[in-house]
Amino acid sequence: MGDLSSARSTLRRKKERGQYTKEVIYSILDEALICHVGYLNADGPVVLPMVYARMEDKLYLHGAVGNHMLRSVADGLDVCVTITLIDGLVLARSAFHHSVNYRSVVLFGQPDVVADLGEKRDASVALVEQLCPGRGTDARVPSDTELKKILMLRLPIEEGSAKIRTGDPIDDDDDIALDIWAGVIPTTLSRKTPIPSADLRSTIPSPPYLDFLIDQ
């Protein structure tokens, strides 16, 4: 698979934690739920959280046609998109060496506007699927009228990096002799038992793709 490294996407600190293959970067993109999109507006830098979806080598962002950020960057402005998964809290003996186990991705590029309604529809379904696998083909597909109310941007995934920290705390040799517990608290993003909407008809059962969340 391709390599997304560039001068600005190459790690300078902890280089050994860097990975640049699409395989690694896509695995993180496909697992996470939200990204943070950074851009430079007239007043300075702004970073906003958004949902996203990946389809092949493109990352899709969407919002209302009046969305300030999406409108600002739609004309070929650079964006920086960051995605983070937290895998553990790393408790070292010293306060100094506390850390986090993580898998993160930083992408750079210039998004463009998706005008084609078919691609917009596919990306809208992918955005739903990213949040809840199985839901994309269950939810009513957006109508043309709805799609025209959406500003959909497409960022080519061509330049970026993944950075991954795993494992134990890295204490100084002198600190390892201290009588202080050290280790990792594993963390996951958990989904809990779904709560039916208050206006859901009682005859409608929970869909099969939510079965794994029932009574777990």
Ligand X SMILES: Cc1cc2nc3c(=O)[nH]c(=O)nc-3n(C[C@H](O)[C@H](O)[C@H](O)COP(=O)(O)OP(=O)(O)OC[C@H]3O[C@@H](n4cnc5c(N)ncnc54)[C@H](O)[C@@H]3O)c2cc1C
Q: Choose, by CB under 6 A, the member of 5, 17, 22, 48 that binds ligand X.
A: 48
- The 128-147 site mask, x for binding ligand X (CB under 6 A), equals --------------------
Burial 100-129 (b: 16+ CB within 10 A, else e): ebbbbbbbbbebeebeeeebbbbbbbbbbb
* 100/176 Cα distance (integer angstroms): 19
Q: Choose, by CB under 6 A, the member of 11, 34, 86, 213 that binds ligand X.
A: 34
Q: Which single residue brings its beta carbon nearest to ligand X?
A: 63
- Minimum CB separation of residue 188 from ligand X in Å reads 18
- Minimum CB separation of residue 113 from ligand X in Å reads 14
- Segment near ligand X (CB under 6 A), from 42-50, 85-93, 117-125, 157-165? 42-50
- Minimum CB separation of residue 164 from ligand X in Å reads 23
The smaller minimum CB distance to ligand X, of residues 93 and 121, is found at 121
Residue 32, token pair as written in the block: 């996470």
| Contact call for residue 51 and ligand X (CB under 6 A) | yes
The smaller minimum CB distance to ligand X, of residues 14 and 68, is found at 68
Q: Choose, by CB under 6 A, the member of 40, 50, 117, 182 that binds ligand X.
A: 50
| Contact call for residue 205 and ligand X (CB under 6 A) | no
* 40/46 Cα distance (integer angstroms): 6
Residue 39, token pair as written in the block: 């851009």
Of 58-77, binders to ligand X (CB under 6 A) are: 62-63, 67-69
* 181/83 Cα distance (integer angstroms): 31
- Minimum CB separation of residue 171 from ligand X in Å reads 35
15-22, long-range: CB within 8 Å, 24+ apart, which pairs?
A: 17/163, 17/164, 17/165, 18/161, 18/162, 18/163, 19/161, 19/162, 19/163, 19/164, 20/160, 20/161, 20/162, 22/57, 22/157
The smaller minimum CB distance to ligand X, of residues 150 and 164, is found at 150
Residues that bind ligand X (CB under 6 A): 34, 46, 48-51, 62-63, 67-69
